[in-house]
């Protein structure tokens, strides 16, 4: 693996974790009685940006290296399910997470201008769902990386 590919993989993980931290911060503020919607808006926007950057670096690593060098080793090894189940699930679930975070960002922008309890609940639910799915995606990544060893 080249230094560029190793860097892309590390960035993919770190950017995804920062995105998770940002949506966690947003959720913790959303569940307050009087959320600071400006902060929620900034945190959810940053979360979306970090998730999209994680997408880009992960996609580069996957297309250039994982698909040809790592995936065949996992499928031929003792834990082929690490790719067949975990990676395939990770790939598809991760597509949803940035869109949930963008929904939280848009909702928080709307809530800055007008209070709507139902929108606040929906934004909180979307943030919690993004946080839960993002955490599962990170756990799946750990299992996949263990499957190659």
- Taking the domains of the chain in order of start, what are their residue ranges? 3-147
Q: Choose among 131, 146, 145: nearest CA to 51.
A: 131
What CATH number was assigned to the domain covering residues 3-147?
1.20.120
CB 135 within 8 A of CB 20: yes
For the segment 79-111, what is each residue's pLDDT rounded down to a tens digit?
787 778 888 888 888 899 999 999 999 999 999
> Exposed/middle/buried for 117, CB within 10 Å: 0-12, 13-18, 19+?
exposed
* pLDDT surpassing 60 at residue 149: no
In angstroms, rounded to a whole number, what is the distance separating the alpha carbons of residues 87 and 66? Answer: 11
Q: What is the pLDDT of residue 148?
A: 59
Q: Which residue has the higher pLDDT, 67 or 31?
A: 31
Residue positions counted in the chain: 149
* Chain centre distance of CA 55: 8
Tell me which of 5-19, 20-34, 60-74 is least confident: 60-74
């Amino acid at each position: 693996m080249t230094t560029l590919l190793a860097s892309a993989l590390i960035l993919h993980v770190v950017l995804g974790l920062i995105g998770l931290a940002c949506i966690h911060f947003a959720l913790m503020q959303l569940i307050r009685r009087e959320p600071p919607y400006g902060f929620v808006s900034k945190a959810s926007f940053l979360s979306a940006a970090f998730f999209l950057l994680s997408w880009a670096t992960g996609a580069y690593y996957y297309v250039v290296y994982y698909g040809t060098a790592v995936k065949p080793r996992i499928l031929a090894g003792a834990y082929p399910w690490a790719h067949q189940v975990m990676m395939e699930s990770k790939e598809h679930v991760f597509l949803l997470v940035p869109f949930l975070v963008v929904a939280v960002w848009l909702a928080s922008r709307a809530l800055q201008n007008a209070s709507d309890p139902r929108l606040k609940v929906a934004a909180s639910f979307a943030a919690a769902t993004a946080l839960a799915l993002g955490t599962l995606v990170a756990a799946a990544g750990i299992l996949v990386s263990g499957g190659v060893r």
